Amino acid sequence: MARTLLVVVFLIGLAFSAPTSISNSSQVFSQAKHYYQIGQYDSTIAIVHRYLKKRNKDQATEYIVPLCMEAVVRRGKYSVFDRLYGTYFRRFPRSPFIPRLYYLNGVVRGKKKEHKKSLVSFSKALQLGVSKDLDSLVLLNVETLCKRDLTHGTLNRFSRISGLHPKIGEVLLYYEVKKLHELGQIAKAKSRADKYKKLYSKSLYHTKVKEVFAEDKGLFKKSIDIGLLAPLSGYNADLGKSVVQGVKLAIADYNAHNTPKIDLVIADTRGSMVETAKKTRELIKDYKVSVILGPVLSPNATVAASILMENPDVIMISPTATDDGIAGLGKNVFQLNVTLGILGMRIARYAIETLGITEFALITPMSEYGRILSTQFKDEVKRLGGEILADEYYDEGTHDFKSQFESLRKKLAERHWELLALDGILGIDETPKDKRMKESYLKDSTIAIGGLFVPGESSDAIKIASQVYFHRIRTQLLGSNGWHNSATILDGKRYVNNAIFSTNFEVDVQDPNWIRFSRQYETQYKEKPDHIVAPLGYDAARLVVSLLQSSKGFRPFVEGLRKTEQFNGISGTISLNNSDGVNSEAAIMKISNKKFIKVQ
């Protein structure tokens, strides 16, 4: 998973107290800190900005400005940070906040791809040795930088920077060893590992360095047993049948052209969690399988994954489970189907990275569906540096959204005045004239917000889209898979045109690979495959057998799964290269000219 450098709240718990001799400074700091804690970073900046316009020479700026700099970094205003950073160091060279600002500067330099400067600044933060918490943040960011952005050659060059803190040197050399080994340059990797042992004899990374060269446990024998958990009897037997037939087709293709052969051990879960637990233990203890495909249903997959927490040398890949968090139960657990959480994350990422939207509002149903989608959407927006300006909720079945839109307009109007004040365009006070100006703006103006996310069903989307127009809000409508319904286009009319939403991938029936699979499936089983379950089962098995041919042990096999990116499956593209082992390849659709068009 591509990770961003972290900026973690630090100033919230500072023990530095505001000097009582400075009028209003404590109140300003308290109010700015409150907005920072609830994620309203522009408000934090605005409050400090207003204070500095009148009192920028006060001693209180020593502790107020660093909080503003935290908020500035959160908002991605790096040029503003650079100006504040230089000024602050000239004015307060002995401030207790200097180590934290070195850390923030390292984060900013990393964001701007100035990697050497980033490491030097992180090193200075460590050298001042303020706290374990700050040291941990620094090293975590250095690890992310090494893992994500630096090649083995760059790591080698940077490790020779004069005066670099030894703890950073340890991380650089460890990742150089690791990356050399991954490239197959074993002799060179061992040479660098020997140097590591001499330089850092008491390092916490010693175990990790040994693991790089540890012999992998044997995963593959002359014949390979792979387990398959699916409901072949009971209420969900049809689902189980489709998955099994898809898996068997992929295994048959593999066995026809490769060795060692695969023996598929199929276990009927009957759709029961108790039976799933029993059959999972049988596959592990009696059949000694190293890979389990399934279970099919989310509750059963949760049971199996929990058992695998005690059996980390067995890999589980559920083709169809959709509940969030199943793959998160273990690094040996994976999910191919797109979860609700991924749908929320995916539309947020598309809105920020492709559409360039940075500010959002939400109108969310008070349901489990809405909660999961909105939570993941908001988390991803914040992770990518965006901001949530308003968050409104409604009961399912609601027809009148007047209260939600009135609240939304009020919040967006308040934000409008805050930004004008921050930019120095207006100095808004609470005089009668100013109040009338604000009331007129709220009543008569069209108010803009970058994106409005509505994670509801089609019926809700239709009603809300029309009321966006009625309440004079200019925005990009964003949705989820609940919008992926013909009723959205038919009843939403012009109000939903250009709306964009994330949804589970769909089979491309014109794709030659799908046509070949469909014909083969129909020939083998005398029936046509469905468009979801059978393809997912087929792809899960294909993914496993593709790695059998390239992996030479258990650890490389798991690492291969975790590095899966843009795997061209029948069911759609599959990428598992994230921290949770969940497929992140949801589709992005746009409503245009009364049609659903896939845009990504």
pLDDT in tens, 32-82: 888 888 888 888 888 888 888 778 777 888 888 888 888 989 888 888 899
pLDDT value at position 19?
36
Instruction: Please tell me the distance from the alpha carbon of residue 381 to that of residue 349, in angstroms, as a whole number.
Output: 7
Q: Using alpha carbons only, how large is the chain's radius of gyration in Å?
A: 28
Query: What topology is assigned to 221-337+509-579 in CATH?
Result: Rossmann fold (3.40.50)
| pLDDT number for residue 421 | 55
Question: Do residues 95 and 88 make contact, with C-beta atoms less than 8 angstroms apart?
Answer: yes
pLDDT tens profile 460-507: 999 999 999 888 899 999 999 889 888 999 998 999 999 999 988 667
* pLDDT (0 to 100) of residue 345: 92
Whole-number Å distance between alpha carbons of 266 and 250:
14
Q: Return d(Cα 330, Cα 307) in angstroms, integer.
A: 10
Bridge partners of residue 261, in order along the sequence: 223
Q: Using the predicted structure, report yes or no on whether residue 13 has a pLDDT greater than 90.
A: no
CATH class of 11-213: mainly alpha
Report the mean per-residue pLDDT for the chain. 84
Neighbours of 291 (CB within 10 A): 24
Pairing of strands 500-503, 587-592: antiparallel
How confident is the model at residue 185, as a pLDDT?
66
Contacts of residue 352, defined as CB under 8 A and 6 or more positions apart, other chains included, come to 358, 381, 384, 385, 386
CA angle, residues 88, 48, 130, in degrees to nearest 5: 45
Determine how many CB atoms are found less than 10 A away from the CB of residue 573.
Answer: 15
- Beta-strand relationship, 595-598 and 587-592: antiparallel
Q: What confidence tens digit (pLDDT) does each residue in 129-154 have?
A: 767 888 888 888 998 898 888 888 88
Distance CA 335, CA 325 (A): 10
The reported pLDDT for the residue numbered 428 is 52
**Does residue 392 register a pLDDT over 90?**
yes
Question: What pLDDT is stored for residue 190 in this prediction?
Answer: 81
Query: What length does the chain have?
Result: 600
CB 29 within 8 A of CB 63: yes
- Give the SS3 label for residue 23: coil
Q: Where exactly does CATH 3.40.50.2300 map onto the chain?
A: 221-337+509-579, 341-503
pLDDT tens by residue, 297-318: 999 999 999 999 988 889 999 9
Identify the H or E element spanning 556. helix 554-562
User: pLDDT tier at 104 (50, 70, 90 boundaries)?
Assistant: very high
Start-end ranges of CATH 1.25.40 in the chain?
A: 11-213
Q: Which of 48-52, 120-124, 550-554, 583-587 has the highest mean pLDDT?
A: 120-124
pLDDT, mean of residues 359-374? 93
Q: Give the span between the Cα atoms of 333 and 486, in whole angstroms.
A: 35
pLDDT of 203-253, one tens digit each?
Answer: 766 677 776 666 444 444 456 889 999 999 989 999 999 999 999 999 999
Distance in angstroms (rounded) separating the CA atoms of residues 143 and 580: 19
Contact between 84 and 96 (Cβ < 8 Å): no
pLDDT of residue 547: 85
Is the predicted pLDDT of residue 348 greater than 90, yes or no?
yes
**Looking at this protein, which amino acid is placed at residue 455?**
P
Of 63-67, 187-191, 218-222, 530-534, which range is least confident?
A: 218-222
* Residue whose C-alpha is closest to residue 269's, from 242, 304, 226: 304
Q: What is the pLDDT of residue 222?
A: 55
Q: Hey, what CATH class is 341-503 in? A: alpha beta
Residue 87 has pLDDT above 60, yes or no: yes
Each residue's pLDDT tens digit, 546-559 = 887 776 666 778 88
Compute the distance between CA of residue 314 and CA of residue 301 in angstroms, rounded to an integer.
14
pLDDT, residue 511, reads 85
* Structure-model confidence comparison of residues 205 and 20, the more confident one: 205
The tokens describing 460, both together, are: 């809700």
397 backbone dihedrals φ, ψ, rounded to 5°: 95, -5
Pick the more confident residue, 18 or 339: 339
SS3 of residue 308 by DSSP: helix
- Residue 453: the pLDDT is 97
Whether 3 shows a pLDDT value over 60: the answer reads no
Q: Percent of the chain having pLDDT more than 90? A: 38
Question: In 366-412, where do the E strands start and end?
Answer: 387-394
Compute CA 459 distance to the chain's CA centroid, rounded to the nearest angstrom.
29
Return the SS3 of 165: coil
The pLDDT of 534-551, averaged and rounded, is 88
* Apex 524 CA angle, 518 and 526, nearest 5: 80
pTM above 0.75, yes or no: no
- Judge whether residue 410 has pLDDT over 90: no
